[in-house]
Amino acid sequence: MPGRYGDPAFGSGADIDVFHGYSVWNTPAGDAVRGELRTPSGETYPVVSSGGRLWGWFPARVEGEPQAELIGYAADGTEVGRAPV
């Protein structure tokens, strides 16, 4: 479902590549203007917002480990949604 402004929905269709032991990803921002990524172990990684997408990186997960979670926030600080990365 598209975001409020017609952009692709938050977290839909993430692109993820593993490079030298790190997962590097990007996904549509939808209505989110900022975000944070949390790993299953509780670590938090920053997210960059640019061009209607959210971008970030984190250490690549081990096979079988739960996925990290992206949390998106609107300009007023309310949570827009959560998406597995």
Whether residue 2 lies inside any domain: the answer is: no
Range of the domain at 63: 15-76
| DSSP bridge partners of 19 | 22
Whether residue 58 lies inside any domain: the answer is: yes
Number of domains in the chain: 1
Whether residue 27 lies inside any domain: the answer is: yes
Whether residue 23 lies inside any domain: the answer is: yes
What predicted TM-score, i.e. pTM, was given to this entire model? 0.84
Whether residue 82 lies inside any domain: the answer is: no
Residue 27 near residue 12 (C-beta atoms within 8 A) = yes
* Residue 3 predicted with pLDDT over 70: no
77 contacts: CB under 8 Å, gap ≥ 6: none
Q: How many Cβ atoms are within 10 Å of 27's Cβ, its own excluded?
A: 25
Whether residue 55 lies inside any domain: the answer is: yes
Query: For residue range 16-64, what is the model confidence (pLDDT) as tens digits?
Result: 899 999 999 999 999 999 999 999 889 999 999 999 999 999 998 888 8
Q: What is the CA radius of gyration of the chain?
A: 12
